[in-house]
Amino acid sequence: MKALLLPLSFYLALMVEFTTQSAWAACPANYSTNQTQTGSCTVTGNVTQGNIISDPTLTVNGTMTINGDLIINDHIVVNGDLIVNGNIIVNTGTLTVNSTGSVTMTGTFYNGATIVLIPTTGWLTNDGDVAVGGDFYNNPLGSVAGNGTMSVTGTYYENGTNLMSGDSDCADGCCGTGCSSPLPVEWLYTKVEKGDGRSVEVKWATASEVNNEGFTIEKSCDNTQTFKEIGTVKGNGNTESISNYSFVDLAGGANVYFRITQTDFDGTQSISPVMHHLGNPEPGTTLATVYPNPFKGHVSLDSEHSSFDSISLTSSDGQVVFQTANQTSSVVEDYLNMHLENNRSGVYFLHMKSSGSQQTIRLMKN
């Protein structure tokens, strides 16, 4: 019997299909047992890893994107790329970034969290690269170690133990072994404001710039799944003075996201924290009240709504402190106190949406 010979195009098509399918994999559905992630996958919503009882480990070997907060109670080992479009909270757990791994996040990193006045122990061992878009809190029971590099766009708060090799001073925005080169731009703030009519104004400022060719403003209308370029602004090249910038998005809209990609003359790029614009609240809409306001310590949230469709807290400079969805009012109150307790004094904005209505509350922490 003669072997059946098929045209070469058939085998090429099979190879393409196999390659395409093997490049993507489902994210783990259960984070309370040992799990290994390969390929590329995306999770929409918050992820809580571990249950403190069975001591499981999540191993990331591919590219895993989480569009929400990541809460670590046990162990995560990163050999590939972990991208978190939200906050990372390390409770009684460990985050290990090996030499081939990287962690990129847009929110605030709490290493060793303090939840409801109960301190917890957090370990970050970084032999790769960690990029924090917001602030980094190395809380009293937190420890940082490793031979890698960590960059912090916001403020580094050192209350725990820092054993990073090389430059262990993270207060200047970078620590570890790869911080000999100056940062291309030193961000002072990034924020969005309501403009005229439907428009939205994106504002940012830099404290210094090195070989900065310019900025590309990008917008997402699908909860940070994809960003598209909407404009560019020329940079100031080399300067040690404060530079203020702005860009008006005439299309605007509600519940949209913005970020800024900065490009050097040699093509090297860096990305700003993600900014969220919910839109103006409807007149007369009251979803909740928060008291006392101004406050120093614990706050209470009073609402007739049992749950909220979405809720976020931003600082006055546009930094996203936390954002979450489909939570009860009691959980929202716990989130508020957990994050506000660890953040500095100043003005914050609580954005809420429920049953088609939305509200923004201005909070003042003394």
| pLDDT tens by residue, 183-232 | 677 777 788 888 877 788 999 988 788 889 999 999 988 777 788 999 99
Instruction: Say whether pLDDT at 15 is over 60.
Output: no
Q: What is the pLDDT of residues 125-151, one digit of tens each?
A: 999 889 898 889 998 888 998 888 888
pLDDT for position 24: 52
* Chain centre distance of CA 53: 28
Give pLDDT tens digits for 224-272.
Answer: 778 899 999 999 998 888 899 999 998 887 778 889 999 988 888 888 8
- The residue with tokens 């000999």 is 180
pLDDT of residue 181: 53
pLDDT in tens, 290-331: 877 777 778 888 877 777 888 888 876 667 888 888 888 888
Q: Is the pLDDT higher at 312 or at 5?
A: 312
Q: Which of 118, 72, 119, 113 is nearest to 96 (CA)?
A: 72
Q: Let me know if the fold of 185-277 is the same as that of 289-365.
A: yes
Strands 200-220 and 228-239: antiparallel
**What pLDDT score was predicted for residue 255?**
79
In this prediction, residue 84 carries a pLDDT of: 93
Rounded CA-CA distance 60/319 in Å is 27
Is the pLDDT confidence value at 8 over 60?
no
| Range scoring the smallest mean pLDDT among 10-19, 96-105, 114-123, 276-285 | 10-19
Sign, Cα dihedral of 245, 169, 240, 347: positive
CATH top class, domain 289-365: mainly beta
Tokens of 120: 């917890």
What is the rounded CA–CA span in Å between residue 280 and residue 255?
A: 10
On average, the pLDDT of the chain sits at: 81
- Structure-model confidence comparison of residues 192 and 60, the more confident one: 60
The model's pLDDT over 63-90, given as tens digits with 9 standing for 90+, comes to 899 999 999 999 999 998 999 999 999 9
pLDDT at 7 (0 to 100): 52
Q: 323 - beta bridge partners?
A: 312
Asked if 144 and 126 touch (Cβ cutoff 8 Å), the reply is yes
Tokens of 111: 């290493």
The predicted pLDDT at position 347 comes to 79
Rounded CA separation 155/241 (Å)? 19
Which residues, at least 6 apart from 152, have a Cβ–Cβ distance to it below 8 Å?
A: 109, 132, 135, 136, 170, 173, 174, 175
Residue from 258, 257, 255 nearest 245 by CA? 258
Amino acid at site 290: V
CA dist., res. 362 & res. 17, Å (int) = 52
Whether the pLDDT of residue 11 is over 60: the answer is no
Superfamily of domain 185-277: Immunoglobulins (2.60.40.10)
Are 272 and 187 spatial neighbours (Cβ–Cβ below 8 Å)?
yes
Question: CA dist 330 to 268, 297, 299, 323, Å?
Answer: 45, 17, 12, 15
What's the N-to-C CA distance of the chain in angstroms? 87
Where do the structural domains in the chain lie, given as residue ranges?
A: 30-176, 185-277, 289-365
φ, ψ of residue 307 to 5 degrees: the values are: -150, 165
Q: What is the helix (H) or strand (E) element at residue 291, kind and residue range? A: strand 289-291
pLDDT (mean) for 167-182:
73
Q: What is the pLDDT of residue 215?
A: 95
Give bridge partners of residue 289 from the DSSP assignment: 302
Cα–Cα distance for residue pair 163/351, rounded to 1 Å: 38
The total of other beta-carbon atoms located within 10 Å of residue 268's CB is: 12
**What residue type is assigned to position 325 of the chain?**
A
Between CA 25 and CA 316 the distance in angstroms is 39
Helix (H) or strand (E) holding 241: none
Which region among 13-22, 38-47, 283-292 has the lowest average model confidence (pLDDT)?
A: 13-22
Residues 104/82, Cβ–Cβ less than 8 Å: yes
Give yes or no for a contact between 190 and 314, defined as CB atoms under 8 angstroms apart. Answer: no
